[in-house]
Amino acid sequence: MKGKILLLFVVCSTILNTSCVRKRMSTEYVFTYAENHPKDYPTTLGAFEFAKLVEEKSKGRIIINVVYDGKLGDELSVIKQIKFGGIDFARASVSPLSNEIPILNVLQMPYLYRDDEHMWNVLYSEIGDEIFDDFKDSDIEPLSFYTAGARNFYNSKRPIEDISDLSGLKIRVQQSELMKDMVSMLGAEPSALEYGQVYGAFQRGVIDGAENNTPSYISALHFQYAMYYTKDEHTRVPEMQICSKVTFNKLSKEDKELIKEAAIESSVYEREIWAKKERMYENELLDKGVKINTLSASERAHFKEVLEPLYEKYCKDYMDLINKINDK
């Protein structure tokens, strides 16, 4: 009897060990995905969805580990690492990416889109294809667009009701020459800081305000120091899911298609999550005593007029593309 039990134990152990080996052997790739937002932020949730879809579609052959909270560096640093394959995948704003791919400046021009629907009609059309084509000679493979909502001004001093209210305010901007110029032309003083430095800058009084979307404003706790939030929607700057070409070129044609399909599907998911979170966050901010106002249509038109020279400075080679966007 003891011999039979021992034999059964050996057989079961062999089956279990063989199963584990097969499971380990079935995983061909383990990749890293960089995200600088917190775990429950819409773009991070989109990244988790992307990783899940890739694992499912590849039947476990491709695993993507999402590293959030900026643990792998700020967006500029991540983009540099993506270029030489130090990081495999990332979500990055069009703003810092435009330093590598100048055509992306078009997508962050102020008051370019009529509304959110217009932006998505543009991005997932032949216009978006034209933009993706500009990555061909770079070290970066574009996968999909994510939403980042509309960017608005917020500050600790006063509500922004007309352009004069921005005068003299020290405003944090993304690390982009275009964004610095935009804030300067509106009469404020731009301060280009990494995203993770903004809260400390508010604490020390280094800045009076910043500009960002509602989820970022609340998740980064900026409302604790800047209680005036103005919905001026000066830009809708999309995010992009990107892949290192060092990584992408390792993959088979089938796996490349699989990755791109998962990226597009996760984009739809991320936009749905974003819309839900944005509604929820605005109600939370009102409960916390944040003063929210909406810039009038006439003043928005004034802002747009003042910022018109930016199109000539940053997009003179892409005016045909801008006209296509306006006509879309």
How far apart CA 6 and CA 10 sit, in angstroms, is 6
Q: Is the pLDDT of residue 13 over 70?
A: no
For residue 11, the model assigns a pLDDT of: 38
For residue 176, the model assigns a pLDDT of: 79
- Give Dmax (Cα) for the chain: 92
pLDDT tens-digit profile of 200-253?
A: 999 999 999 999 999 999 989 999 999 999 999 999 989 999 999 999 999 999
For residue 249, the model assigns a pLDDT of: 97
Confidence at 8, pLDDT banded by 50, 70, 90: very low
Confidence at 177, pLDDT banded by 50, 70, 90: confident
For residue 247, the model assigns a pLDDT of: 98
Tokens of 144: 């999909």
Q: Is the pLDDT of residue 182 over 80?
A: yes
How far apart CA 47 and CA 91 sit, in angstroms, is 8
Confidence at 289, pLDDT banded by 50, 70, 90: very high
Exposed (0-12), middle (13-18) or buried (19+): which is 317, by Cβ within 10 Å?
exposed
Domain 22-149+237-279, CATH class in plain words: alpha beta
For residue 26, the model assigns a pLDDT of: 87
CA distances, 288 to each of 31, 51, 223, 224 (Å): 40, 35, 9, 9
For residue 15, the model assigns a pLDDT of: 42
For residue 22, the model assigns a pLDDT of: 44
**Which residues does residue 145 pair with via DSSP β-bridges, in sequence order?**
240
Q: Map out the domains of the chain as residue ranges.
A: 22-149+237-279, 151-236+285-327
Contact 170, 189 (CB under 8 A): yes
Q: Do the first three CATH levels of 22-149+237-279 and 151-236+285-327 match, i.e. the same topology?
A: yes
Question: Average of pLDDT values for 17-46?
Answer: 80
Q: Is the pLDDT of residue 62 over 80?
A: yes
pTM: 0.82
Question: Average of pLDDT values for 309-322?
Answer: 93
Q: Is the pLDDT of residue 9 over 80?
A: no
* Among the ranges given (59-73, 78-92, 144-158, 309-323), the one the predictor scored with the smallest mean pLDDT: 309-323
For residue 195, the model assigns a pLDDT of: 87
Q: Please, what is the average pLDDT of the chain?
A: 91
Least Cα distance to 40 among 273, 262, 286, 247 occurs for 273
Give residue 80's Cα distance to chain centre.
Answer: 16
How far apart CA 207 and CA 200 sit, in angstroms, is 9
For residue 196, the model assigns a pLDDT of: 87
Q: Does domain 151-236+285-327 have CATH number 3.40.190.170?
A: yes
Instruction: Label the pairing between strands 170-173 and 209-212.
Output: parallel
Confidence at 162, pLDDT banded by 50, 70, 90: very high
Neighbours of 104 (CB within 10 A): 24
Higher pLDDT, 16 or 156: 156
How far apart CA 44 and CA 36 sit, in angstroms, is 8
